[in-house]
Amino acid sequence: MPVLPEVRHVRAFTLDEALSLIDDDVVPYAGATELVPAMRLGVRRPEAIVDLKRINELGGVDLDMATNAVRLGAAITHREMADNSVVNEFLPSLAAAAAHVGNVRVRNSGTLGGNLSFAEPRSDLSVVLSALDATVEIASAGGQKTIPMKDLILGAFETCLSPDELLIAVTVPFEPVGMSYWKLKSYERPTVGIASLPVEGGWKIVVGAATERPEQTTIATNDLDAVDAFVNSLDISDDLSGTPDYKRSILRSRISRIVALP
Amino acid sequence: MTDRRSVRRRDAFAKVTGRALFSIDKTMPHMAHAAVVRSERAHSEIISIDFGGALEAPGVLGVVTGQDLVDMAPRFGHIIADHQILAIDKVRYFGEPVAVVVAETVAQAADAAAMVWVDYRDLEPFMDAEAALRTEQLIHNSAYLGPKGGFLGIEANDSNRSNVAHTVELNWGDVEAAFAEAHVIVENRAHFPMLYAYAMETYNSIADYRGDSLHVISTAQHPVMVRKELAEIFGLPQSAVRVEVPFVGGGYGSKSYTKLEPLAAVASKAVGRPVQVTTDFEAAINTTRVDSTDITMRTAFDAEGRILAREADIIMDTGAYADNSPLVLEKCANRCFGPYRVPALRVHARAVYTNTSPASSYRGFGAPQGALAGEVNLDMAALQLGIDPVELRRRNLVAPGETLIAGKRPMDADLLADMETVAAALSQHASPEVPGIRRGRALALSASDAGASPISTAMVRMHVDGSATLLTSSTEMGQGSNTALAQIVARELTLDINQVAVGQSDTLFTPYEWTTGASRTTTIAGLAIQAACQDIWTKLRTIHANNLGIEVDTVTASRGALWVDDVPIAPSEVISEWFGAPAGEVVGVGIIRKSGSTEMLPPFWEVGVVGVEVAVYEDTGEVVIEHLVVVGDVGHSINPDLVKGQDLGAATQGLGCALWEELIYEGQQLTNPNLVEYRVPRFRDMPKRVTSVIAERGDGVGPYGAKGSGEGALNPIPAAVTSAVAQAVGVWPDRLPLNPQRVWALLSAAADEKEPE
Amino acid sequence: MSTPVNIAFELNGRKIDACVSARTTVVELLRDTFRLTGTKVSCELQVCGVCTVLVDSLAVSACSMLACDLDGTSLTTIEGVMQGTELHPIQEAFIETNAFQCGFCTPGFVMMTLALLDREPNPTVETTRDWLDGNICRCTGYQPIERAVQVASRRLAEIESDSD
């Protein structure tokens, strides 16, 4: 379809206002990076869209030295995360991942909240945030709740958010030393993404892009059998970037290399 | 140091400021907009089309279907007139235009188009050539297929009892005997995938049909061909049809001949206003894609590696409509056996209809497909025979003056010298050994009977102040014709380039140019321009003689002036004198036909000589081009920067074919009709090193010894990359693209072979 | 019916008040309403970059941004790049290195280069590739475009030091 479908447009100025509006047919947006292509393809046909960009409560980067965590407002863009000095100092892998999402234009418009809510499986941020045990604040007209990052994404393009709920912030504990994130990107979207960080006796591994949602496990140092078992247990997508065999081979090879280090 | 000939491009200012107008940027007064309803079946009969509320929707001016194709020829096609303007009784591919909704705005047309509902009776779809050949069901009804009076000597099938759109047989010598006495026989298969040319300006046309005239603006490479086709469709004299082509936002052969123009014209006819039809990325793929091929090649060699015979079977998937594919097939047959001495040849080639997007020409025109089979076959043979691949080619390459195909112009290029250049450049650079990375190097050659038809007319108008305007129907699609052709005028008339203007590609004003393609413009249009400039000098000499009342033999023309004895006089003075005022102009006309230096076909051979060094990453299968070497053997370069630009651009598209690009059908439709899933070469894919050399031996018939450029650097690339990757991984790939997944699979296969039982 | 939304924004330095439909994208507004055709449409998925414009100095894809979100912003298109009657040094650099052929992708690349050099006047090869990997060119093979950025960077530095 060459044009967007008819749609009603509302600007929200407070969080409460936005929460009172959103439902099945009334969809919130900030950067519109995911929304516009979805509407153009006819995948999403909301009756109305709500612009969140004027809501102050959705912005901000808050450093909490008491809990050793950083709270990121959902409206922060990928570029802002990549540039922000607090994120770079305390969450360097997140800053690096944000610096390589999509391309420069996507990073200027796309937001953390939009990215996580859309739950495109072939993405980086959800993998890194899962590895860091981030928590997600969700608000609705009925109240607020906080859930672990790993419970947010249920499957491809599917989150636990109901239509009247809005992701408003992500709180991320400081990144431990030794964490890294690697991805293979041969096409427009990543083929495979692996976050790893050292834990007692081994490594925490989180895999994404090749799976419908981030999948994590803990593997003892040098336990190659456990690597095999984990990789074989994953439900790997078969698409234009490769077959499951191919992606498993890359996962096996990279993860083995990671866990070989003490 | 910059070559003086590499002058600043004339379209530079317009293009860097965004002021360059493309067809998509144009409008006509009171223009309406169209939304095309496209088929959601690959092969079905249309039972009915229900407009829903479309006709009554806001702003809608009309809805046009195949039932409205009356008082006109409902089908077009310059070789086979099989292409229905709108689906008449059936659809033959997913995405075929079924109806057009015309409205005041784009949004109104799109909204109304969504209301149209088509009821289909499904037929069995044939999604690949094999299936289409096996079945007795016909995709096309023979009632309207038939000889169209021949196009470049191609006759269409006169009885359509199969889904074969066109057949080519090319034979000479005794192939059986040659294979019987061969020391070594090498056979290989090569699959060249369906591609999308992806001209970034997608197809679009504006048409204003006025009953006795038709004005079209379109992103078309060949305005006069489109004019001819439209005139035939609507029963109009050619003089009544105007085809205007502004800057073309990428062509690459994919905008050759007629595409959306008839659809736009039909829509305009229905509503009585100009109508613009556009395509998005997916609709553009469903307008034209690139011919895919499956080729089996067998070569017989003697003990010294000399070719005794080559035999090829080519199956080309031309999609739902033939478009230019019969000609691509002819050329594929001519180009698959390479620029070698082949004493015996048998090529059996078929273009087969399938229920997929219509396929047509792309840069290379059958040569990349052919070379993929033929050149890789040679490299396999080299390995088997224990002869270096370069040496093997040395022993078989035709030399300048040798005949490649009987009846055609002998080879005009020094392929051997070009090959030595590439071989030397490739071997100069040795990449370091790195664990986890495999390396390979290969070179490949091709020779294309290019130039298409040598029919060209040029007009040059010399103004009273001595400056000049060139009129040509060749189109500017990035190759720089706008500049290079002006450079020829400047040289011939001894003018500064800033004193030459160029008017292009508007059939109302510019004279006949067969096509812009087949790398022919510099050579053929260039010759016409030279002739037009010569005509100006002849006329000026006559005028000057007339002015002075002397014999014309006593007047010479040189160094930008007319001379009597040793007295020069400027053309501007001659013109003013003749008209009796500083007024008037002298118009020179140059006509090129199949005669004289362009009697023999092809007008020139476009050769391609390339080399690549690849690095293959074992864990991911990624292939990186460490070194790309291209030689542009162009005879004479009017503008070296433009030639190098063509070579790098063509080679890059070749790398796209080799490593990334592939249209994939699953069931009835494409899985990847978008730029996320159809991967083209990107900034980061640049080869680490590029060696681009121009060879100028003055061996062409074009101006100053020029030959054509634009496709040669693409043609052998897929083959060279394939052979280089084969060297790196130890397995011969038989299909493209060599994306990471496929290369990894080859590496795994190679590893499995090495495993002890 | 789509909501008509009032917007007030700056377009190439000019103050504009407009009423746009909620369904209109920035590129549609530019091309159809303002007849600024330098910004193009091609892939409509933010991959190709031909629709690149600068919103508050940041490069965005005009095909995927709603026109109503222009309210309160400053928008620069290719038509706003020339410096009076003179070409911008970036535009000159593109001409000098022949960093274009058909020209359809060129406005997008010029806008990206403008944004890049504004932020990093002396970008490394890696940074340049990172930025420009988000734009497609089907004609040139990219090398001359990379050179254009390097030439432009040098020229701008010269101008900068000349004016010191």
Q: What is the pLDDT of residues B564-573, one digit of tens each?
A: 999 999 999 9
CB atoms within 10 A of CB A144: 14
The pLDDT > 90 percentage for chain B reads 94
In this complex, is the C-beta atom of C43 within 8 Å of any C-beta atom belonging to chain A? no
Asked if A7 lies within 8 A of C28 by C-beta distance, the reply is no
Asked if A249 lies within 8 A of B619 by C-beta distance, the reply is yes
What would the pLDDT profile of B382-440 be if each residue is shown by its tens digit?
999 999 999 999 999 999 999 999 999 999 999 999 999 999 999 998 788 899 999 99
Q: What is the CATH architecture of C89-162?
A: Orthogonal Bundle (1.10)
Same domain? For A87 and A25 the reply is no
Same domain? For A155 and A104 the reply is yes
**pTM exceeding the 0.90 threshold for the entire prediction:** yes
Identify the H or E element spanning B339: none
What would the pLDDT profile of B36-54 be if each residue is shown by its tens digit?
999 999 999 999 999 999 9
Q: Look at residues A151, A173, A195 and tell me which one is the last residue of a structural domain.
A: A173
pLDDT at residue B451 in the model: 87
* C164 pLDDT higher than 80: no
Same domain? For A166 and A194 the reply is no
Query: Domain residues for A69?
Result: 58-173
Compare B282 and B4 and report the one with higher pLDDT. Answer: B282
Same domain? For A190 and A110 the reply is no
Superfamily of domain C4-79: Beta-grasp domain (3.10.20.30)
DSSP C29: I
CATH number of the domain bearing residue A15? 3.30.43
- The answer, yes or no, to whether ipTM is higher than 0.95 is yes
Same domain? For A144 and A216 the reply is no
B108/B32 Cα distance (integer angstroms): 10
B710/B714 Cα distance (integer angstroms): 8
A-chain residues near B280 (CB < 8 A): 2
pLDDT at residue B161 in the model: 77
Asked if C2 lies within 8 A of A33 by C-beta distance, the reply is no
Number of independent structural domains in chain A: 3
What would the pLDDT profile of A113-161 be if each residue is shown by its tens digit?
999 999 999 999 999 999 999 999 999 999 999 999 999 999 999 999 9
* A257 pLDDT higher than 90: yes
Among residues C41, C22, C21, the alpha carbon closest in space to that of C105 is found at: C41
Same domain? For A105 and A199 the reply is no
Average confidence (pLDDT) over B711-731: 97
What would the pLDDT profile of B635-673 be if each residue is shown by its tens digit?
999 999 999 999 999 999 999 999 999 999 999 999 999
Q: How far is A7 from chain C, CA to nearest CA, in Å? A: 5
What would the pLDDT profile of A74-104 be if each residue is shown by its tens digit?
999 999 999 999 999 999 999 999 999 999 9
* A68 pLDDT higher than 60: yes
Average confidence (pLDDT) over B726-736: 97
* A27 pLDDT higher than 80: yes
B214/B581 Cα distance (integer angstroms): 39
What would the pLDDT profile of B468-527 be if each residue is shown by its tens digit?
999 999 999 999 999 999 999 999 999 999 999 999 999 999 999 999 999 999 999 999
Asked if B686 lies within 8 A of C79 by C-beta distance, the reply is no
A63: confidence class by pLDDT, cuts 50, 70, 90 = very high
Q: How far is C100 from chain B, CA to nearest CA, in Å? A: 8
Asked if A8 lies within 8 A of C2 by C-beta distance, the reply is yes
Alpha-carbon distances of A204 from A91, A201, A211, B294, C35, rounded to whole Å: 17, 10, 17, 48, 55
B370: confidence class by pLDDT, cuts 50, 70, 90 = very high
In this complex, is the C-beta atom of A194 within 8 Å of any C-beta atom belonging to chain B? no
Q: How far is B53 from chain A, CA to nearest CA, in Å? A: 17
* Dihedral, B495, B499, B503, B509 alpha carbons, nearest 10: -80
CATH number of the domain bearing residue A123? 3.30.465.10
The pLDDT > 70 percentage for chain B reads 97
CB atoms within 10 A of CB B407: 7
What would the pLDDT profile of A201-255 be if each residue is shown by its tens digit?
999 999 999 999 999 999 999 999 999 999 999 999 999 999 999 999 999 999 9
B757: confidence class by pLDDT, cuts 50, 70, 90 = very low
Mutation site for B-interface testing, chosen from C46, C104, C128, C143 by largest number of B Cβ within 10 Å: C104
Please name each of the domains of chain B with its CATH number: 12-125+198-287 (3.90.1170.50), 406-446+604-757 (3.30.365.10), 456-598 (3.30.365.10)
B207/B27 Cα distance (integer angstroms): 10
Same domain? For A17 and A86 the reply is no
User: What is the maximum span of chain B, computed from C-alpha positions, in angstroms?
Assistant: 99
Q: How far is A1 from chain B, CA to nearest CA, in Å? A: 7
Mutation site for A-interface testing, chosen from C20, C23, C43, C113 by largest number of A Cβ within 10 Å: C23
Query: Domain locations in chain C?
Result: 4-79, 89-162
What would the pLDDT profile of C54-69 be if each residue is shown by its tens digit?
999 999 999 999 999 9
Give the DSSP per-residue string, C123-149: --HHHHHHHHTTS--SSS-SHHHHHHH
